[in-house]
Amino acid sequence: MIVLGIDPGTASMGYGIIKMTEERPILKGHGVIKTHPDQEMHKRLDVLYSNLNDVAAQYKPEMVVIERLFFNTNAKTAISVGQARGISMLVAAHSGADVFEYTALQAKKYIAGYGRADKAELQEAVRKTLGISQIIKPDDANDGVAMALCYYKLNFLK
């Protein structure tokens, strides 16, 4: 089973793709989709949709895991992330994938062992879980992989 994890954002959307196996999850790909801050929002959203749709077409995920916004005091940021989440859900719907949502705290808890893990601790936990030699960079890509791994830990290792 292929799982696409997404760390939504309109400036930078991280993603990670894992293949779930009985032995361990296998990293198939990861990256970041960036938009230019000078572009109008509808054009930025189109860039996100087009690029994420290409990722989904290439890897054909059966599950898409999107980071859920837990709480944000900055309304502008919350709206922006909400728009990116909507794009992610639209891509999932068009690719026929099921959608799951977890907060960053949940991903940190299940991957790193506690919900308040910092970026470096989460990167190391993702690296160990995947059995790879180097941490995943940049942070947004690692966060996308962590979303996919959260699904793996909660639903596949039962």
Catalytically active residues are 7, 67, 140
Q: Does residue 67 contact residue 101 with C-beta atoms inside 8 Å?
A: yes
How far apart CA 144 and CA 131 sit, in angstroms, is 17
Q: How many helices (H) and strands (E) does the chain have?
A: 5, 5
Q: Does residue 86 contact residue 99 with C-beta atoms inside 8 Å?
A: no
Name the pairing type of β-strands 2-7 and 63-68.
parallel
Structure tokens at 63: 């599950």
